[in-house]
Amino acid sequence: MNGGTISIVAGLVIIAIAPFAARRFQEIWGRRQEEQDKRDEFRRKPDRGSR
């Protein structure tokens, strides 16, 4: 297989997986954002040490 064929196959695979990957990514990203918000709340509190 030459480079062109590989890239075409990769493109098709990405197109096939994209909807599932997007949904999964949104779940993971949403969770990460919530965790980040919690961390920020901890940082805002003055009694959380010097950091």
Given its phi and psi angles, is residue 26 left (phi above 0), alpha (psi -120 to 50 degrees) or beta?
alpha
The tens-digit pLDDT sequence of the chain (51 residues) is 577 898 999 999 999 999 898 899 899 989 998 998 888 888 777 665 655
Q: Which helix (H) or strand (E) holds 2?
A: none
Range of the domain at 17: 1-46
Structurally, the chain folds into a number of domains equal to 1
Per-residue model confidence (pLDDT) at position 5: 93
For residue 39, CA distances in Å to 28, 43, 45, 51 come to: 17, 6, 10, 12
Is there a domain that residue 51 lies in? no
3-state secondary structure of 50: coil
